[in-house]
Amino acid sequence: MFPTKSIAFAILLLAASGWARAQVALPQVQVPDLRRLPTEPLNRTVNGVLDRADPQQLRELRQVRIRNLLRTNRAVLEADPRGAPIVRAQIVALSPTETALDRARAAGFGIGRTRSLEGLDVSIVVLQAPPGMSTRRALERLRRADPEGTYDYNHVYLDSGEVGVGAPEGLGTAPVGTTAIATKVGLIDGGVQRSHPVFNGVTVHEHGCTGGAIPSAHGTAVASLLVGQGNVFRGAAPGAELFAADVYCGLATGGALDSLAEAFAWMSRERVPVINISLVGPANALLEQIVRVVTTRGHIVVAAVGNDGPSAPPLFPAAYPEVVAVTGVDAKQRVLVEACRGKHVDFSAPGANMSAAGIDAPFGIVRGTSFAAPIVAGLLARQLSAIDKKQADAALANLVAQATDLGAPGVDKIYGHGLVGDELRPSEQLSSTTR
């Protein structure tokens, strides 16, 4: 039974206020004692609305978020012909030839940022459209002038949490309860609140944001599910060495393609075997090529499928064949109603009724495919100590063998190969949220 119009309108208002983004982050829960994680169920009204939502309305949630983003940042952002957010008047080129750049200059294009992506052996150049030329026409012009080249919009990929600053006073310290896992794992997301107790004893390397990373609720939560550790909390790869690239930095143009490209290059230079990216957006020719280069070299890229609902088209980078695409399930092992579906889905993992580190409160309850992806990434990272294509393939095959088949027998468009990481869900959370 679908929600009434008033409930549907309430959902859209929540989205418009920033509550619903590409991945859904539910309100954080105040926890006075770090020895106790929040175990109460999610707000039953919100959870009930999501569980009964019309698939089309779920798809519209992110569109509301995008429209608000464009309206409040119209000086620097606009929509591409498909409605996806892009940086205004910018086109990104992958390893353009000098001849192609000379033609672009002659046509009035400005040559902006030029970045050599060391580690990937490619470069990206951000081209500025001539005054008076639309971004759409600029892309068409460049592609027509250099049909062998790779050009696309500077798309913006969306995260899901509210941007937070700093950590609450008197947070305290949680003792480390596990031995660190000797591996590296990467995170392309918002900034991480390194001072949170779950990161005690965890080596965190940061990239991006001149002057230092800006902690975000989404990046901190995902990072905790990757490498967090404590006496009552652990991520999928507790204590692993974390390489965290902040691609937002509190900017309106945060999450743009050129920032993602630099983050992937940094991960490659640092020899990080598994890279988690819980961000979603449209297909992009440059992103596709960069993902292909990274995975061909033996890295594993894990991404969330997104929360636009079962009727939505695939979101990227999760939908690229080379990426390990992850959906989320609740405490009863049911796929999240808002999770995207399709033949690209590889695994399902816990994505609701889970605790994660917060920045406005010690811990919060999270929901969304964003929070299932780091569980799969952590499980894969535990099997890899170095970048090796054969080892990466073996780790994936091993995870497939461990998966619990859900839904239709065999691989399906809802659960992929099946559920992994359910043992990481604390039993007390399972019992308290099952209803």
Q: pLDDT at position 174, please?
A: 31
The region that residue 298 occupies, defined by phi over 0 for left and psi between -120 and 50 for alpha, beta otherwise, is left
Spell out the per-residue pLDDT of the chain, length 435, in tens.
334 333 343 444 344 344 334 444 433 333 334 344 444 433 333 444 555 566 667 767 788 989 999 999 999 999 999 999 999 999 999 999 999 999 999 999 999 999 999 889 999 999 999 999 999 999 999 999 999 999 999 999 996 533 223 322 222 223 334 455 779 999 999 999 999 999 999 999 999 998 677 999 999 999 999 999 988 889 999 999 999 999 999 899 999 999 999 999 999 999 999 999 999 999 999 999 999 999 999 999 999 999 999 989 999 999 999 999 999 999 999 999 999 999 999 999 999 888 899 988 888 888 899 999 999 999 999 999 899 999 999 999 999 999 999 999 999 999 999 999 999 886 543 333 322
The verdict on residue 179 lying in a domain is: no
312 occurs within a structural domain: yes
**Residues 130, 252: one domain?**
no
For residue 181 the two structure tokens come to: 């896992």
106 in any annotated domain:
yes
Q: How would you class 397 by CB atoms within 10 Å of its CB: exposed for 0-12, middle for 13-18, buried for 19 or more?
A: exposed
Q: CATH code at 117? A: 3.30.70
Phi, psi for 186 (deg, rounded to 5)? -110, 155
Specify if 362 maps to a domain: yes
Q: Please tell me the predicted confidence (pLDDT) of residue 231.
A: 83
Residue 299 lies in a domain: yes
Residue of 161, 159, 156 whose CA lies nearest to 79:
156
- Which helix (H) or strand (E) element contains residue 86? strand 85-94
Are residues 342 and 379 both part of a single domain?
yes
Q: What pLDDT, on the 0 to 100 scale, is given for residue 51? A: 58
Same-domain status, 379 and 319:
yes
- Count the Cβ atoms, other than its own, within 10 Å of residue 262: 20
Residue 166: inside a domain:
no
* Domain ranges, residue 351: 184-433
Residues 350 and 295 in one domain: yes
pLDDT for 60 equals 77
CATH number at residue 400: 3.40.50.200
* 148 and 230 assigned to the same domain: no
User: Which of 109, 134, 155 lies at the terminal end of a domain, its last residue?
Assistant: 155
57 lies in some domain: no
Claim to verify: residue 320 and residue 404 sit in the same structural domain: yes
Domain boundary among 155, 172, 205: 155
Based on the fold, state whether residues 283 and 139 are members of the same structural domain: no
Q: Are both 249 and 105 inside the same structural domain? A: no
User: Are residues 259 and 323 part of one domain?
Assistant: yes
Q: Note whether residue 51 is domain-resident.
A: no
Both 146 and 284 in one domain: the answer is no
Residue 121: other Cβ atoms inside 10 A: 12
Helices (H), 55-197: 55-72, 98-106, 135-145
Total of domains in the chain = 2
Residues 358, 246 share a domain: yes
Same domain, 217 and 127: no
Structural domain ending residue among the three candidates 138, 155, 172: 155
